[in-house]
Amino acid sequence: MRNVMKTYGRKPVAFTHGEGAWIFDTSGKRYLDALCGIAVTGLGHNHPRVTKAIQDQASTLIHCSNLYQIPEQEALAVKLCQLSKMETVFFSNSGAEANEAAIKLARLYGHQKGLSEPVIIVTEQSFHGRTMATLSATGNRKVQAGFEPLLSGFARVPFGDVEAVRQVALNNKNVIAIFVEPIQGEGGVQIPSPQYLNELRQIADKEDWLMMVDEVQTGMGRTGAWFAHQHNEILPDVMTLAKGLGNGIPIGACLARGKAAETLTPGTHGSTFGGNPLVSRAAMATIEAIELDALLDRATFIGDTITQGLTKRFDGVTSVIDIRHKGLMIGIELDRACAPIVDLGLEAGLLINVTADKVVRLLPPLILDEKQIEFLVSTLSSVITQFLSESK
């Protein structure tokens, strides 16, 4: 690893292959993957439909510039727009790039409306990526520290606080958009009140702002709907996707509708790789598999079952502060910092994650079977119990 920049704290394990919810390391040990490469492999590993689409396309045409027509990309855009009721799509290679597109779109839209310094409202504890614009939008000083000067043009409010948004509306006439995650993932699986997005939609309508949702982590079925905002029956003006969109093939997307749909025009934005034939086919196959196997309902069922199981196990355990979830975004908040739980999980054959210091985060695949659900609940319960007793 000497020649790889040390941007990650890596665990001393490497994986050779995966099969469904299982992933295997170089010694042959098997782990239940309840992290999915951080919300990426929602269909599990080595999904036959996705693998076949990649193989087919790789043997035909992997890449073609966006200077030409790309039918596979067009087909994917049509499908995503059908699922989301959005109207146009820009394809990127990652979540941060999808968000860059959204931020640029909002700024350009602001300039077109005569604002020379347009402002986007963002929230505390948010995470939008690590490029300069997206880390400036991110509400976490750890992500920003050392990279100043940050981009200007963001106003920050507490997540879930609608009144704070109203105050900004009163005091700042340069606001052009509000940009939020429907559920904060990196921020600790923070689920706002059911009315939150509806209220933001109302304010955005009243003030003529764009409502932009970052569904990079919450999208593609993870919360039991194609996109988490659909639980609210509202439509955003802009939505970003990545992670689960290609089940591991790098692809992101910025979708827009209505007044935002035609803002980006030739020459205003672009990407060499974005939406090439290979990634577009992989994403289309991912969507088809979610549809064919009715995985949205399955995500809801699995999430409810896991959460009920954990809630039962930790009934009366005061060190477990909260167990919350929407579909398969699950957070178990403890009363103490709990990073070592990840290592205990590894030992026990379980891939999990800790975020926001005290929150054990599960992002399991949408294809877990009953036995795997049981394994996950019982192994995780033991690991948390062990951690709590050793860290007293």
Ligand X SMILES: Cc1ncc(COP(=O)(O)O)c(C=O)c1O
> Given the rule CB under 6 A, which residues bind ligand X?
38, 94-96, 99, 127-129, 181, 185-186, 214, 216-217, 242
Question: Contact, 244 vs 42, CB < 8 A?
Answer: yes
Question: Of 30, 10, 134, which is closest to residue 379 (Cα–Cα)?
Answer: 30
CB 342 to ligand X: min, Å: 16
Amino acid at 115: L
Burial class (CB in 10 A: 0-12, 13-18, 19+), 350: buried
Is the Cβ of residue 57 or residue 94 nearer to ligand X in the bound state? 94
Shortest distance, CB of residue 84 to ligand X, whole angstroms? Answer: 16
Q: How many CB atoms lie within 10 A of CB 35?
A: 22
Q: How far is the CB of 60 from ligand X (least distance, A)?
A: 27
Question: In terms of CB distance, is 182 or 277 closer to ligand X?
Answer: 182
In terms of Cα–Cα distance, which of 104, 136, 154, 108 is closest to 271? 104
End-to-end CA distance of the chain: 35
Nearer to ligand X, 97 or 320 (CB): 97
CB of 218 to ligand X, least distance (A): 7
Instruction: Considering the complex, state which of residue 281 and residue 361 has its C-beta at the smaller distance from ligand X.
Output: 361
Write down the least CB distance from residue 55 to ligand X, Å. 24
Number of residues that make up the chain: 392
Residue with tokens 């999990």, as numbered in its chain: 352
In this complex, which beta carbon is closest to ligand X, that of residue 40 or of residue 388?
40
Cβ closest to ligand X, residue 228 vs residue 388: 228
**SS3 of residue 9 by DSSP:** coil
- Measure the CA–CA gap between 269 and 248, rounded to whole angstroms: 24
> What whole-number distance in Å separates Cα of residue 258 and Cα of residue 168?
24
Query: Measured from the CB atom, is 129 or 345 closer to ligand X?
Result: 129
- The least distance separating ligand X from the CB of residue 144, rounded to whole angstroms, comes to 14
- CA 124, distance to chain mean position in Å, is 17
CB of 282 to ligand X, least distance (A): 15
Q: How far is CA 179 from the centre of its chain?
A: 14
Helices (H), the chain: 36-39, 48-58, 71-84, 95-112, 132-137, 141-144, 162-171, 196-207, 277-292, 295-313, 341-347, 370-390
Residue 391 Cβ vs ligand X, minimum distance, rounded to whole Å: 27
User: Shortest Cβ contact with ligand X: which residue?
Assistant: 95
Q: Using the minimum distance from each CB to ligand X, give the nearer residue, 218 or 280.
A: 218
CB of 248 to ligand X, least distance (A): 12
Q: Which is nearer to ligand X, 99 or 300 (CB)?
A: 99
Shortest spacing between CB 11 and ligand X, in angstroms:
18
Of 194, 191, 249, 185, nearest to 214 (Cα)? 185
Whichever of 32 and 180 has its CB closer to ligand X, that residue is: 180
CA angle at residue 391 from 389 to 392, to 5 degrees?
70
Give Cα separations from 171 to 3, 103, 175, 179, 286 (angstroms). Answer: 50, 21, 10, 18, 44
Cα–Cα distance, 207 to 210 (Å, whole number): 9
